[in-house]
Amino acid sequence: MKLKILLGCLFLLMLSNCGSSKKTVKKQRNKTYKEQEIKNLPKVNEDKHIEKLEEGSKKLNESTLEYIKKYAAIAVREMHLHNIPASITLAQGVLESGNGKSVLAIKSNNHFGIKCHTEWQGNRVYHDDDEKGECFRKYKYVSSSFKDHSLFLTQRSRYHFLFSYKVTDYENWANGLRKAGYATDPLYPVKLIRIIEDYQLYEFDRIKKGDFTYDNTIEEGEENNTVEVNYYTVQKGDTLYSISRKFNTSVTILKDLNGLKSNDLNINQVLIIN
């Protein structure tokens, strides 16, 4: 009898230890989201672009012109990193943020209406949208919102088909975003295309890497960085491990540099190497 009682006690002790170890592992899985600042921005002749529009006969929204002038360089940078048309990024920013003047944009620097979703570990803000008091992502920098918009599209399988379109094919991109469920408004593609064509944002889609240089115009609060950045375009059969071996780096560093949360890659995806 004593032996049975002793064995029973040992069994209960083992169960208790297992339960406590599970709790410890669960705590370790929670990670805090850390923003990576966008530092060097390209010269994309945004001033000349705005001047050309203002010289035209069409009456345009001054707030939209200011928005384009302020964020065109970031949109072009994201285009060359992630193969998302700069025109689409800018048009979505204009539409979703009300030219950067919506309550959500002002409160949280969220220019693309991206909600928290289950995986979000960063700061949050609550705002009425489709439902009352919905959770939206909050950023320290507007540029972080642009970067997260790129990651949002590249890391979700429902948007993968968009990357079969050329970066100059803004019409298919606009219609594809609606088809993939980015917005519930049936006129969403029409609105994006109208913004792109009225403000000739397609001109930014034609800017190639060799057509611009980097200057010191950076977002307020971010430090200048003159370190040269190298890029690599993902080819068929590439993995993060094979790319890390090719460039004498590590998978962890590649994931940190590119804000990747998994090891999944897409063909033609552009990665920062160092």
Sketch the domain layout of the chain as residue ranges.
41-108+150-218, 228-274
pLDDT of residue 220: 41
- pLDDT confidence band for 92 (50 / 70 / 90): very high
pLDDT of residue 218: 42
CATH architecture for residues 228-274: Roll (3.10)
Give the model confidence (pLDDT) of 166-210 as tens digits: 999 999 999 999 999 999 899 999 999 999 999 999 999 999 876
Residues 99/66, Cβ–Cβ less than 8 Å: yes
Give the model confidence (pLDDT) of 2-60 as tens digits: 555 555 555 555 555 544 443 333 333 333 456 766 666 777 889 999 999 999 888 89
Q: Provide the mean pLDDT of the chain.
A: 80
The domain defined by 41-108+150-218 carries CATH number 1.10.530.10? yes
- Cα–Cα separations (whole angstroms), residue 76 to 148, 202, 240: 15, 11, 25
Residues 47/69, Cβ–Cβ less than 8 Å: yes
pLDDT of residue 26: 34
